[in-house]
Amino acid sequence: MKKNILFLVLLLAACQPPRPQPQGGWTLTDGLGRTVRLPQAPQRIISFAPSLTEMVYALGVQDRLVGVTAWCTYPPQAKAKPVVGDYLSPNLERIVMLKPDLVVLVGTSASPVLAKLQALGIPAFVFRSEGIADIGDDLRLLGAVTGAERTADSLARALKAREGSLRAAVDSIPLSRRPRVFAEISSQPLMSANSRSYIAELVRLAGGVNIADSLPQLYGVINAETVVRQRPDIILVLHPQSSAAEVRRRLGWGGIPAVRQGRVYAGLDLDLLMRPGPRFTEAARTLNSIFYGKK
């Protein structure tokens, strides 16, 4: 029923008349506080972030998307778009050939790809997608960039309502009864995410307790003995390098409740779980089902 309501909201928003073209072009401020001036709403967009690619499709303006990264795999139709390399290795020749009037990316002012785009004279709009709270803001900002404000606002409101329902359900569970979760994002070296990370936020929204909250880095190395001492009830293997069987074979890990009870989860949909995009409530529901054994 909730999916039907969300679809109806988006359908009605999409049927709204287009926003009038502003006089003198568009002047917008991106996530870094940079002023980006465009003569008109961009018609040829390249996305350098899988989460932004998902948002472009969610807003219904995918016909303007002329290029994506090799990591932009959802929705499946995105894989048919021309690939412009990735964030670390952009194919500048391909980018120039596609003649974008705007590139959207997630990053900081020190992002190498941003400097390269500026040197080429290609307008770039930077988002600071760092957590759940940023998703609605990013949707609205991308809606402003593409002239799809009404659809963006409707989607952001619907996602906020669904997030609220998830939080209300979790709030009723005493902290002592919530599973302790180790979210492994790398095995060599062993790494996890602290309380300020998107992964930790997702674990909390799903009703879990992240055992690596006190890590000094957002995403950092964690000692294997620390994981053993923390005795997680659930281990999420959020990378493709390890399997549940490999985790169970680790020296000293046999006594961890998650290992002893067969609650080590690998082979998960990393595209769903690792991207701060419009599917974050779906990701939280997936984790909630793992944490509480729901179907």
Check which CATH number belongs to the domain holding 39 and give it: 3.40.50.1980
What domain range includes position 153?
8-159
Does residue 238 lie in a domain region?
yes
- 87-126 burial string, b = 16+ CB within 10 Å, else e? beebbbeebeebebbbbbbbbeeebebbeebeeeebbbbb
160 with 68: CB under 8 angstroms?
no
Whether residue 106 is found in the same domain as residue 220? no
Does residue 182 lie in a domain region?
yes
Whether residue 252 is found in the same domain as residue 141? no
Does residue 39 lie in a domain region?
yes
What's the number of domains the chain is made of?
2
Does residue 113 lie in a domain region?
yes
Whether residue 24 is found in the same domain as residue 131? yes
Instruction: Give the pLDDT confidence of 206-240 residue by residue, as tens digits.
Output: 999 999 999 999 999 999 999 999 999 999 999 99
3-state SS, one letter per residue, for 147-208: CCHHHHHHHHHHHHHHHHHHHHHHHCCCHHHCCEEEEECEECCEEEECCCCHHHHHHHHCCC
pLDDT exceeds cutoff 50 at 9: no
SS3 36: strand
pLDDT of res. 294: 65
Instruction: Give the pLDDT confidence of 106-125 residue by residue, as tens digits.
Output: 988 888 899 999 999 999 99
Phi, psi of 216 (to 5 degrees): -70, -30
Distance CA 289, CA 295 (A): 6
Does residue 1 lie in a domain region?
no
Instruction: Give the pLDDT confidence of 148-165 residue by residue, as tens digits.
Output: 999 999 999 999 999 999
Domain boundary among 125, 159, 193: 159
Residue 284 corresponds to which tokens in the numbers above?
A: 């939280």
Whether residue 150 is found in the same domain as residue 183? no
Whether residue 38 is found in the same domain as residue 126? yes
SS3 221: strand
Instruction: Give the pLDDT confidence of 247-269 residue by residue, as tens digits.
Output: 999 999 999 999 999 999 999 99
Domain boundary among 109, 124, 159: 159
For residue 110, give every residue at least 6 positions away whose Cβ sits within 8 Å of its Cβ, in sequence order, or none: none
Does residue 166 lie in a domain region?
no
Whether residue 135 is found in the same domain as residue 266? no
Whether residue 148 is found in the same domain as residue 277? no
Whether residue 43 is found in the same domain as residue 109? yes
Does residue 203 lie in a domain region?
yes
For the CA atoms of 211, 213, 216, 221, the dihedral, rounded to the nearest 10 degrees, stands at: 30
Does residue 107 lie in a domain region?
yes
Instruction: Give the pLDDT confidence of 15-24 residue by residue, as tens digits.
Output: 333 333 444 5
Say what the pTM is.
Answer: 0.86
pLDDT of res. 248: 95
Domain boundary among 134, 159, 184: 159
Whether residue 18 is found in the same domain as residue 153? yes
pLDDT exceeds cutoff 70 at 8: no
Q: How far is CA 214 from CA 141, 147, 171, 178, 221, in A?
A: 32, 41, 22, 18, 12
CA triple 164-12-101, angle to 5 deg: 90
Whether residue 111 is found in the same domain as residue 183? no
Whether residue 12 is found in the same domain as residue 150? yes
Whether residue 62 is found in the same domain as residue 131? yes
pLDDT of res. 103: 96
